[in-house]
Structure 1
Amino acid sequence: MNELPLTGLFFALFVLIALSAFFSGSETALLTMNRYKLRHLADQGHRGARRARKLLDRPDRLIGLILLGNNFVNTMASALATIIALRLGGEAAIGLAAGILTLVILVFGEVTPKTYGTLHPERLAFPAAYVYAPLLKVLYPIVWSVNLVTNGLLRLMGIAPEGGSNTALSREELRTVVSESGAMVPERSRDMLLAILDLEHATVEDIMIPRHEVEGIDLQDSEDEILQAIRNAGYTRLPLFDGGVDNVIGVFHARNALHALLEKGLDKEHLRKIAREPYFVPEGTPLYQQLLNFQRLKRRVALVVDEYGDFLGLITLTDLLEEIVGEFTTDPSDSIEEIHRAEDGSLLIDCGIGLRDLNRALRWELPTDGPKTLNGLILEYLETIPEPGTSLKLHDHPLEIIQTADSGVKTVKVIQRTLRKGRR
């Protein structure tokens, strides 16, 4: 070393600092790279991604190799800096050289390359993979010896290094990824993906048509009433009752009933024949499971019952699918029958609306794990039936009670200053 010129020593020191930067930056790039993007590129045939993915299958070996190289070049750089200091200023310059080298390695060999590797991992990870793959084969005996000790310590702590890192996402983590996807996923598609993830948290009770709103045909009614009910029905599939909603004997298609009426006139017994056996589901069935049940059984309508078998309401395949795709309209608040826009631009809301429908229409976040309707939520909050004109702030949404009845709140008004017009 003493025979080498100072320019050669400085050049060697520069090369060692550059190698330190390479090891530090590539380590950060490889370990912070998006595993799903890496897997996608590897499946598409990207050679650098394939090599990087193979290295990351055993992170213990990769880290051992990188740290081995990084510590080696840093040690060599320290030795060279000491020699340069002795030749320039004697022993008194060694401390100054150590301080300068520490600062240089910190800035140029650690912070800068690691920051770059974090911001642009692919630019460092893929080229580095071409270097590390053959280097690992050459230095494998040394890396294996180091890993033998470190892996033994990890096993003592109950960690299996051979298993690699677990990159599986939980439901909430996946929700966060979708929510923060930004411009990469259109807002409409993002809302649909989030709605699919929410299906496990909601049950058929949350979106069913309550029993008092169910349209159906009662065989005990007169012929004129039955005909009128079929003509005015807002649904194509109607439940068939015999003596009230608590005695459902089937579900029939209104179109088939009209054809029969045109051919044979009204025949109650024929309505019984064309009615399909009712399909009952428990109130706590998750929406995702119910979607699979509809698909498996080739059904479109299910009758919701409680633990005692009492009829609670009705759920259709259309209602369930709308939980995913939303309403087919440009303004959700205009697509819900319970929401009306007043002349002054404010919204009047029928308190019988389901909280999930209200949240989706106005982009609110009212809790849905308790009461299922706005009326129920208001009564739970106030613990009494309020008088018209009462104002309240319900989960940061100021409301004014417009109309009440003996049984609860009928209509509320969204106070204009906080009105938010949601769009899907």
Structure 2
Amino acid sequence: MSVVTSPLAGMRVIEMGSSVAGPYAGWVFAQLGAEVIKVEDPRTGDATRTWGPRNVHGETAIFETMNNGKKSITVDLSDAVESRALADLIVTTADVVLQNLRPGFAERCGVGQSQMTAAKPELVYCDLGAYGKGGDMAHLPGYDPLMQGFTGIAEGTGTEHSPARVVAPVTDFMTGMWAVIGALAALQGRARTAAGSAVDVSLMESGIALMTMFVSSFQSTGQRPTRRGLQGPLVSPNDGYQAEDGLIMIVCGTNSLFGKLCRAINREDLLNDPLFVDPDTRLLNAPALKEELESVLQTRSRAHWMDVIGDAGVPISPVHHVDEMMQHPQAKAVGIMQSLQAEPSQDGDHDFETVRLPVRFQQERAGYDTKGPTLGEHNALFTPFVERAKL
């Protein structure tokens, strides 16, 4: 990583996190150049070390994805000496702490937010919780599926027959991103005032924030979000349409774009059809419009329509499987994927591809190309603090 792509070089982040939200926040810091020290239970490590199939490094794919570029130390927080040593490490060296352990556990071990910010006022300490601080549910643990259900995301997703979860753990990722945004804002404030901050984010609040548009819409209309599958709200065309070899997404947010679409597929007659003459009638008659469009789109391939409709200036995209996306020339052109070199093996070397940070600085992509740490791989940096805590 160059100086340009490592704007947080020289910063130390202590990540007391497991699963997704906390580690994702730590991963973002690491990709931006910070030294991220991941604190793990010596008996089990991060929970994601056991989630799903192993990759070529012997780690699970999800652990590798969330933790490449970090260091790992093992700390038994139930041990008074090791807890004191971790507190010493934080007070002596840390700029930022990320914490998403079970509610109240860090405090019981002496390394909670109020304890550490009192011991080091310039520290930025971010708690990533489930249901937020305050209220009867503040003490409960939580995962992304629960929050997609709680916040209305799942109920508004899927088809008329059944709600559905968004396949990506959106509340986890958003909570991680809000943690980074909050911590960086607090660091900017510290540069002016020399004072740190206690930063709080939660899965529930991040999920509610994702529903902002629908919260406002409900207050205006009294209507709940309607499950529509691939069909979007507000305008039409705004859906997945069947081509000869798969689905394509087309969105026409203006009369001008609808006109370009109709001319591109040689269906100018639709422009004068009273069912489709303006945005309101097109939205009201979206099923009929979809039938008319698919009668043409089904006759040619996705690639054909990408050329014809795309060249007309109409927003269009194929609906990809994940492997199709990974192999697409556009994904390769922007360099969003990176290969983590495997260790030599009898089967030969194999690269494991993971996603890099979706940010560039001066046209350079930020991010590490190193694999995730083995459990306790960097314990040597913690040992002096343990020895001092024994005195």
TM-score with structure 1 length normalisation? Answer: 0.20
Q: Computing the radius of gyration over CA atoms, which structure comes out larger, 1 or 2?
A: 1
TM-score with structure 2 length normalisation? Answer: 0.21
- Structure with larger RCO (C-alpha < 8 A, sep 6+): 2
